[in-house]
Each structure stands twice: as C-alpha cells, then as structure tokens.
Amino acid sequence: MPRHPVSPGLRSDKSAKEVIENNDVMPVKTNDQDSPVLELTVSGNDRVVKLNGNTVKLSNVHKIYWPDEKITKGQMLKYYEKMAPVILPYLKDRPLSLNRMPNGIKTKGFYHKDAGENVPSFIVTEQVESESSGKIIDYIICNNAATLLYVANLGSIEMNPWNSTRKKPDHPTYIVIDIDPSEGNSFDQVIDTALAATQVLQKAGATYCIKTSGATGLHIYIPLAAKYEYEHAKEFARMIALFTQELVPEYTTLERMLKKRGKRIYIDYLQNAKGQTLASAYSVRPVAGAQVSAPITLKELNHRLRPEQFNIFNMEKRVNKLGDIFYMVLGKGNNIRSCLRNLGY
C-alpha cells in the first residue's frame, strides 16, 4: 500500500536555478530563405511543393481555418513548413494520432489513426495492435518535413505523438504531468499549480521542461530516456501528482470524472500510458488565435504568462532567438529510484 505523501520542502543544497535551469539550449534555425522547400506549381487554391526530393500537394490553401481572425489553412501550412526542423525531433519514430478538422476550428473534427492505403511512398507507417479492440492500426510515423506537411494538409491542425517510439513502444521517452483546468479556474491558478509541481521536482532533484498546452493548461515533461516501462513511469507520475496536489489542495484534484472534479484543476498523470497522446511541443492548436503549444523557461512561469502570447505568427522568431529550450526531454533521463529517495521513499 503506497504511503500517504508528505509535502516536500525545497532543496537547501541547490538553488532552483541550479536544479532547473542548468540545461543548455539547443541552437536551432527554422527554414528561412534558404529553405529546401521548392514550390513547383500553384493552381488556384492548391500548391505543389517539393521537400528534400518528396513531392506534396497542398490543397485548399485559401480555406479559412480560423474564421474570427481570417487565418487560412495555407498560413498554418506555412508555419509547419518553416518550423519543420524544430518540431520533427518530437515526432520522429512516434505513432501519430490525427485530430482532423478539414473545415476549420469551428466545425466538428474527427480522430484518424490509420494511414489508409493511399499514402505517398515517402511516408513511413507502423502497424500496432489496438489493446482495446484487437484491430491492427497502421499509424503514420512523421520523420520528415514532407510527411509533416502531408499530415497537416489533411486538416490535422495539431500533432499528437505517442510518449514512446516505435523502437521501444513499451518504454516512454518521458512522463507528462498535464495541468488541466476546469471552467472555474483562472490561469493564475494553473501557473501556481505548475509552480507547486516544480517544487516537488526540485525536491526530487529531477530535470524537466515546461510548455503551454496551447489552450488553457500547462504541460510538464520529465525525461526518462526510455529506461522504464509505462507501468513504472505512470506510478512515478502519480507520486509527483500526489505531492503537487497536497501543496495546493484548495483548487486542485486527482479526480478524473468531470462530475466529481468540480471547479478544480485536474492534475492528470493518466496520460502516461501506451497509446496516449498530447499535442507536441510547437504544435498548433485548434483554438482562437492559432495558438501554439510553446516551451517556456522557468522565469516565464509567472502570473504574466498567458497562452495567447504564442501563435503561428511569432513562434519562428522566438525559436530563432532562444533556440530549442525543450530539447532536454529527449536527452538523459531521470533516475526514478533516486528521485523517490529524495522525496523520502
């Protein structure tokens, strides 16, 4: 039987900056004027482009995807075209779950997992047996810019990769704490919950990265370097969530059911299971303003932070200035045993 968690205190041997901000930034440059993208033809509402030898047809580029702001599908595709070098490391070798909205964000979308029979030859797929239905799903694997644009052209506004790769499907690369507010919560409360989680992780001596969900929440990623199976990773995530919830009990919960949750923030650790997905870092989200799921620094995690700060029109400039501040999630993983020991287990 698990011990009841006791609120962790802050580490006294290291400052928060030493524990959390000692990772180097990965220099990165988006596709600029020297982009390998070659525009072959433009015909009415369609474009045909060539990326590293692969030809992709982009259809209905003038279609309005964000009606209030008059943002087009073509503008979204241009974002993914420019940001391909940055986002692809977070999609590589990971099955994708596609949330398709081919008629824009104000229409009902649908989920699409199976690649189908007519995918272009440059697209890699991976067959996975569904644990719930027993059916074989032929997932798209997004390993190059042509595939990224092909998937986005289907109306897949957001990119939702697995937490594990096809090479080690039962071992997640990282665990995720999804701080998911209800309609009754302010974003300041979301921020304070994330800060509580950083206190827990600081006590654990864990490395981690933070990003906006691109909508109303925040995501905290804790790298594991595929060293543990999902079962062990999820239990570690549960412990982090328990400790976090105890620090801010007045407006947070671990209750999954909406009816029981009330007007409280759900600290979701159940995303850490095989086949579960969240929007990737740098992914566009189907919300007002064409917001992007943006990695942030610890200094930015304060009450001035707002999700609408980050969108398809300013992320390229931000990344070219800051580099990729999220890359650590793909690097050296935390030692769960050591982290739990630091937390008193």
Which option is the CATH number for 37-161: 3.50.50.60, 3.30.465.10, 3.90.920.10, 3.40.50.300? 3.90.920.10
Query: What pLDDT shows up at residue 39?
Result: 67
pLDDT at 316 > cutoff 60: yes
Q: Can 16-27+169-342 and 37-161 be said to share one CATH topology? A: yes
Write down the pTM of the prediction: 0.90
Give mean pLDDT, residues 32-59: 77
Burial grade of 237 (CB within 10 A; 0-12, 13-18, 19 or more): buried
Please determine, for residue 54, whether its predicted confidence score (pLDDT) is greater than 80. Answer: yes
Share of the chain above pLDDT 70, in %: 89
Burial 246-271 (b: 16+ CB within 10 A, else e): bbbeebbbbeeeeeebeebbbbbbeb
- Return mean pLDDT, the chain: 90
Q: How far apart, in Å, are the Cα atoms of 335 and each of 154, 209, 332?
A: 40, 16, 10
The CATH class of the 16-27+169-342 domain is alpha beta
CA distances from residue 170 to 24, 87, 98, 136, 202 in whole angstroms, order as listed: 29, 23, 21, 17, 27
Mean pLDDT over 92-108 rounds to 95
To the nearest whole percent, how much of the chain has pLDDT over 90? 78
Segment 127-184, tens digit of pLDDT = 999 887 788 999 999 999 999 999 999 999 999 999 999 999 999 999 999 999 999 9
Give domain limits for the chain. 16-27+169-342, 37-161
The residue type found at 302 is N
